[in-house]
Amino acid sequence: MLLAASAGVNVLQEARIRALTSGQAVKNIGRRPAALEGYALTGSPLKISLRTTVPTVIYFFSSACGWCERNWNNIAALDRAAGGRYRVIAVSSERGLREYLESRHVGVDVIEGINENTRRDFGFSGTPHTLVVSSDGLVTHEWRGAYTPRIERQIEDLFDIGLPGLAAK
């Protein structure tokens, strides 16, 4: 009887996760990836722990990604709304992004030049890719792709904020 109840709970949890992601490939929920390692925009090596007093939103982007470009207004709004409740960090495997980010008025913390081990540990493949990591280092939410209306609503509901939507092409 207890085994049947446990199986039922597992089925319900999986259905809940699928409903939240609407069929997107979610590989990271429930994982505890290591610290983010890369470089500050100054070129200094950087290692950021994900075990903090507040959750962390990690936004994986590329300067060549058109959807990432259209998504920067949403990331800025998410960062402005944080108010100490969470932190927002943009992450890229590219280096030399200072001019790119300054020209777009990106004000979030940035880690550039993450290595292949860090990409693999966080499950980053394509861009954009967003993870929410709890203060104890557990991945609780994941979205792949730009903040289309469905993803936008999920993020707005999770953080109790309003987002401006994708910028025009």
Query: pLDDT at position 26, please?
Result: 62
130, burial (CB in 10 Å: exposed 0-12, middle 13-18, buried 19+): buried
Mean pLDDT of 26-44: 91
Query: Band of the pLDDT at 23, cuts 50, 70, 90?
Result: very low
User: How many helices (H) and strands (E) are present in the chain, helices listed first?
Assistant: 5, 7
Cα 4 to its chain centre, rounded Å, is 35
Query: pLDDT at position 1, please?
Result: 59
Query: pLDDT at position 18, please?
Result: 43
User: Domain map of the chain by residue range?
Assistant: 28-159
In the CATH hierarchy, which fold is given to the domain comprising 28-159?
A: Glutaredoxin (3.40.30)
Out of 4-8, 23-27, 147-151, pick the least confident: 4-8
Secondary structure, 3-state, the chain: CHHHHHHHHHHHHHHHHHHHHCCCCCCCCCCCCCCEEEECCCCCEEEECCECCCCEEEEECCCCCHHHHHHHHHHHHHHHHCCCCCEEEEECCCCCCHHHHHHCCCCCEEEECCCHHHHHHHCCCCCCEEEEECCECCEEEEEECCCCHHHHHHHHHHHCCCCCCCCCC
